[in-house]
Amino acid sequence: MRQRGRDNISNALQHSCAKVSGKVGGAELLDMKPTTLDPKMKALGIV
């Protein structure tokens, strides 16, 4: 499950050209707030 979350976030960031927030950002693609995505990325070691 943890690997799937890491893969989903990584794929969203690739599609958004590493943009986390804003229009067509990774957070928007994952349907979450950037303030939620940022700590998840840190916890998964993506940052």
Global confidence as pTM? 0.86
Distance CA 18, CA 1 (A): 22
The pLDDT tens digits for 1-47 are 789 999 999 999 999 999 999 999 999 999 999 999 999 999 999 87
Q: Which residues contact 41 (CB under 8 A, 6 or more apart)?
A: 9, 20, 47
The distance from CA 10 to its chain's CA centroid, rounded to whole angstroms, is: 6
For residues 6 and 44, is the Cβ–Cβ distance under 8 A? yes
